[in-house]
Amino acid sequence: MISGEIERHSTSNVRFGSLRRGLETLACMPARGKEEMASPHYSGCTAGGVDSDQVRRCYLLVEANDSTRTLILNRPKQLNALSSTMIKELLRCFIAYQKDDGVKLLIMKGKGRAFCAGGDAAVGSQAVLDVGWKWGADFFGNQYFLNYIIATSIKPQVSLLTGIVMGGGAGISLHGRFRVVTDKTVFAMPETALGLFPDVGASYFLSRLPGFYGEYVALAGARLDGAEMLACGLATHFVRSNRLPLLEESLKKVDTSNTFVICGIIDQFAEHPSLKENSSLKRLEIINKCFSKRTIEEIISALEQVASNVADQWVTATIQSLKKASPTSLKITLRSIREGRTQTVGDCLRREYRMVCHVVRGDFSRDFFEGCRAILIEKDQNPKWMPPSLHQVHEEAVEQYFSKIDDPQWEELNLPPRHSHGRNIESKL
């Protein structure tokens, strides 16, 4: 969740509690948005009882090509950051298409130079301050519910990940069956620098990367290119950006949900790029040695020991990233990734929902609001974290983030039983 565009609106009339109680009710909810669709060739979700007129004012375009539906994130000026409206519209589409036998393949892409820069963190933090913590709980609850629907979808999804892919953008793509990256892809989960933690199921997909690479990516907010995403398993295919339109046109002709057939089509355009010389994946030995430590303090100490013996700018930059991040965020992130390694995607999302509710309530720390202020709103790049140091973030405080919320307005994230189709995170190393 990294975008800084503020779209001011109060809590939707359709609340998360009612949303999660009935998928059929959700599929028929009216859409809310701000812009007319860009082209008459695009419509809203028309399957499963969702009329195109209902989604005519939105930031999501849907292109129908026989049995393929292309979902296009349409906020290019905001790098396609996910608003509350967009999340609900995506939910309507995914649920409707699950029930429509005429839809066999979903393609997800972003308009402009980004796939999706994450959730709208600035609007989220401001809305919580204006309306109350329940707004944040509803926003994140809808988002995690969407991530779960994608992760358990019976219809294959091909995400075309060119440009920026961060935070919430990873949540709506990496849980899908096929993740296609390019020579222009830039991926990161930068939440610890914002006073948050890698969410949207990141504790599931990052914890399954080789060795302790997931801890490194999550804690340091490391940026990966397309070749690195393919090599570590976050992506399933690498296609040159100039060939992406040809791939997309081929996929639009698909009349099957058979993943072997779809994979074969993508394979025709795919290649296996080499890692750059300065790639973090060429430092896996150091990463495994340092990021396998039990605590954040021990991780930093191990990196400093390496820095004292080896002149490596990557090590120095990694240490600096960790020291600039929110101490509270670092500690809850480490535990989240470690717990996620043995949990299902549903278990990860339920736990992350507990964690994020504590974050937006500010029960122990208000670092999320301070991070959004300093990085996204006022942009002084100088957040004042509280507590300001790692040793002041006690184990009791960390434990609190993983506990139930003691408030009658709060309830657990209730995810309906659905078969998980086991999205593979397969390292190519």
Digit-coded pLDDT (tens) for 40-53: 345 554 444 444 44
Q: What is the pLDDT of residue 428?
A: 72
Tens of pLDDT along 68-125? 999 999 999 999 999 999 999 999 999 999 999 999 999 999 999 999 999 989 888 9
Beta carbons within 8 Å of 163's beta carbon, 6+ residues apart: 79, 110, 112, 113, 114, 115, 184, 185, 186
Instruction: Confirm if 249 and 239 have CB atoms less than 8 A apart.
Output: no
pLDDT of residue 159: 98
What is the mean pLDDT of the segment spanning 120-131? 92
List Cα–Cα distances, 225 to 43, 160, 167, 222, in angstroms: 33, 14, 15, 10
126: Cα within 13 Å, side-chain hemisphere: 18
Q: Are strands 186-188 and 224-225 parallel, antiparallel or unpaired?
A: antiparallel
The whole-number pLDDT of residue 51 equals: 44
pLDDT one-digit tens code per residue, 278-336: 999 999 999 999 999 999 999 999 999 999 999 999 999 999 999 999 999 999 999 99
Query: What would you measure as the largest C-alpha separation in the chain, in angstroms?
Result: 64
Residues near 148 by beta carbon (within 8 Å), at least 6 away in sequence: 201, 345, 346, 349, 415, 418
- Token pair 């006073």 is found at 195
Question: What whole-number distance in Å separates Cα of residue 186 and Cα of residue 59?
Answer: 22
Contact 97, 45 (CB under 8 A): yes
Q: How far apart are CA 101 and CA 79, in angstroms?
A: 33
Any idea which of 23-32, 266-275, 316-325 has the lowest mean pLDDT? 23-32
3-state secondary structure at position 48: coil
pLDDT of residue 421: 58
What share of the chain in percent tops pLDDT 70?
85
- Return the pLDDT at 419: 72
352-370 mean pLDDT:
97
pLDDT(65) > 60: yes
Predicted model pTM: 0.89
Looking at residue 374, its pLDDT comes to 97
How much is the pLDDT for 417? 87
Instruction: Pick the closest to residue 194 from 3, 335, 325, 334 (CA basis).
Output: 325
Active site residues: 119, 168, 191, 199
- Residue 175 pLDDT > 60, yes or no? yes
Provide the 3-class DSSP secondary structure of residue 88.
helix
Q: How far apart are CA 364 and CA 380, in angstroms?
A: 24
Cα 184–187–192 angle (5° rounding)? 150
**Range scoring the smallest mean pLDDT among 124-133, 184-193, 347-356:** 124-133
